A and B are shown apart, each in its own frame.
Chain A
């Protein structure tokens, strides 16, 4: 599967800075199996449930990523401030976002373990924006990410913003994760 050059379209869900992994998936929920199809769904329903209500779905806030009782979100792109995914090393964080239906994240910077987990596990694509777009883009805006021209187009506002090339992890993203990459390279 080739992820890195595919165009991603969808609704934005906007968050502030320093969204840590406890906010992405609170620790009490880490007990469910990521393998079992029935249990796995819960990670979707609890994704981003640790974000304080007033900071969830900016600029208005009080918008849950996943509606009560649902397992999947109507949003597919997270737009956040700097240092997204700081805190713990739990891979359940990018996994829960993927299970909720998130395809990509756009943030100016990431915490390194979260970034690595997103790429190596092939969960979500962590695109870096040149600037913090969390005050520009509004929750619900329709976005189109076009990695080939390194742009994210905001259809709702008629504006475009630049994103960076994936750089040294592009091959792993293209392969769909570290195992796919390593097999391609004959390492495992």
Chain B
């Protein structure tokens, strides 16, 4: 069996499962946020009763992150609903807005808070829940009804997916290459429905060379190829990260050598180059080099895909001592990352000092403009902007206005492009 099949077998009390089987599985963690939490809570109450209790208060994690710094009264009411529910159910894992517990983007907060444990099952009311597969967890996005069902029962049905395997050859990442380039290349190769209802499993020597944040960038975007989940086999790096974040026990599982795969794709890291997804689809691929000179009006660095500490380290490496010629937005995914921007240094300057000196607009930890949101959302595209972004989706209207155009790229490429005001291969700026 593959890693994913093993987790689904373990959690449905079966010795083995096969792709296509429908199984009911036990849930280890359910995560929800301010957009989908309130409707899920409402369905939970309608179906199980006003006074019903959630199946396990230790296993429900609520992380408001989408519409936080807005005047929108409906959006703020949604956070009030989460707060009241967390208080009523006495939930220990609620990360309230306006308190020291506030975290920011759920998919980065989950690992920071120790909820992405190898071998476990995580469901979340957000399509990028698949990010947690980087830790060898089965993690996927669901809707409000399914979340309400889990809140009451701790279970959900899933169809066991076939697994596609992606093997990376090479002992290290080339210095100009980021995980974002790799996943954009893969999505461009297989298409936005190339992995529909399947698992994307990433392996090979190249994966061992990648940091946990690199791996998270890969698994984060499997949904952009239609994947049900993405997964990386746990190793010492995984173990070290998770152990540093939680005392809870976990049992990693690994794919068998004779596991059956739907297909296998092999990539040589040192032959890969900086990639861009053109408007209006994540599979509309081109190399950064091919697009050089394409005019831009905005650069955006943030989100669960491209707002991690290593993403800002990469951007700062290029922006240090220079000034972007277009509006450049910097939005750390979480408050922990925002704090790190104040302490992590390149030379004698902190990352924050580098961004401030470069004239970037610095936002507060949240999803911000990645998905548009209310009209006063920080960095939102409200007109005909042409934006290059480290985020994950560029369908029409994704970052706000449907007249805007979004190019997806790595933090290196976004930073280099910000300096030129047009798409730029970051190798021009990296020695």
Q: Point out residues on A near B: beta carbons under 8 Å.
A: 18, 20, 22-23, 26-28, 30-35, 39, 50-52, 82-83, 86-92, 94, 109, 111-113, 116-117, 120-121, 168, 177-179, 182, 187-188
Closest to A82 in B: B193
B281 adjacent to chain A (CB < 8 Å): yes
* Cβ contact within 8 Å between A28 and B36: no
B35 in contact with A30 (CB, 8 Å): yes
Q: Which of B163-219 contact A (CB under 8 A)?
A: 192-193, 196-197
Give the B interface residue count (CB, 8 A). Answer: 53
Would A111 and B196 count as touching, CB distance under 8 A? yes
Answer yes or no: B252 CB below 8 A from chain A CBs.
no
Measured in the bound complex, the distance between the Cα atoms of B146 and A35 in whole Å is 16
B395 touches A83 (CB 8 A): no
Residue among A32, A33, A178, A182 making CB contact with B42, cutoff 8 Å: A33
Contact between B396 and A52 (Cβ–Cβ < 8 Å)? Answer: yes
Asked if B141 is at the interface of the complex by the 8 Å CB criterion, the answer is: yes
Q: A26-B372, A28-B374 are in contact. Are A86 and B153 (CB under 8 A)?
A: no
- Enumerate chain A residues within 8 angstroms of B375, measured Cβ to Cβ: 28
Instruction: Determine the residue in chain A with the shortest Cβ distance to B152.
Output: A188
Shortest Cβ distance from B78 into A: residue: A31
B138 to chain A, nearest CB (A): 14
B397 touches A113 (CB 8 A): no
Do A83 and B196 touch across chains, with their CB atoms under 8 A apart?
A: yes
A118 CA to B255 CA, complexed, in Å = 32
Q: Are B47 and A87 in contact (CB under 8 A)?
A: no
For residue A170, give the distance in angstroms from its CB to the closest CB of chain B. Answer: 12
Distance in angstroms between the alpha carbons of A31 and B79 in the assembled complex: 10
Bound form: Cα–Cα A34–B138 in Å? 29
Query: How distant is B45 from chain A, measured CB to nearest CB, in Å?
Result: 9
Chain B residues near A188 (CB-CB < 8 A): 47-48, 149, 152-153
| Chain B residues within an 8 Å CB radius of A182 | 149, 153
Contacts of A111 in B (CB 8 A): 193, 196, 226
B155 to chain A, nearest CB (A): 8
In the complex, the answer to whether A113 meets B141 with C-beta atoms within 8 Å is yes
Known: A109-B193, A116-B143, A117-B143. A20 touches B393 (CB 8 A): yes
Contacts of A34 in B (CB 8 A): 39, 42, 144
Q: Please, which residue of chain A has its CB at the minimum distance from the CB of B158?
A: A116
Is there an interface contact between A86 and B22, defined as CB atoms closer than 8 Å? no
Within 8 A of A (CB), among B263-292: 281
Bound: A28/B223 CA distance, A: 21
> When A52-B402, A87-B393, A177-B145 are in contact, do A32 and B374 touch as well, CB less than 8 Å?
no
Total A-B pairs in contact (CB under 8 Å)?
Answer: 143
Whole-angstrom distance between the Cβ of A70 and the nearest chain B Cβ: 20
Alpha-carbon distance between A31 and B48 when the two chains are bound, in angstroms: 24
In the complex, chain A residues whose CB is within 8 Å of the CB of B159: 168
The answer to whether A31 touches B374, judged by C-beta atoms less than 8 angstroms apart, is yes
Interface contact B47-A91, CB-CB below 8 Å:
no
Query: How far is it, in angstroms, between the C-alpha of A44 and the C-alpha of B75 when the chains are bound?
Result: 19
A114 nearest CB neighbor, chain B only: B143
Within 8 Å of chain A (Cβ to Cβ): is B371?
A: yes
Question: B196's contact among A109, A120, A177, by CB below 8 Å, is which?
Answer: A109
Kindly state the separation between the CA atoms of A86 and B398 in the bound complex, as whole angstroms: 12
Flag whether B18 is at the interface (Cβ < 8 A). Answer: no
User: Which of chain A's residues have a CB closer than 8 A to the CB of B145?
Assistant: 91, 117, 120-121, 177-179
Partner of A90 from the list B36, B38, B72, B373 (CB cut-off 8 Å) is: B36
> For window 45-91 of chain B, which residues contact chain A by CB distance below 8 Å?
46-48, 66-67, 72, 74-75, 77-78
Known A52-B402, A187-B153; further 10 A-B contacts with Cβ < 8 A: A18-B395, A31-B75, A83-B196, A87-B223, A89-B127, A91-B144, A111-B226, A112-B196, A113-B127, A178-B149
Closest CB in chain B relative to A12 CB, distance in Å = 22
- Is there contact, CB below 8 Å, between A22 and B372? yes
Judge whether B389 is part of the interface by a CB distance below 8 angstroms.
no
Report the minimal beta-carbon distance from A179 to chain B, rounded to whole angstroms. Answer: 5
Alpha-carbon distance between A121 and B40 when the two chains are bound, in angstroms: 11
Q: A50 — which chain B residues lie within 8 A by C-beta?
A: 396-397, 402
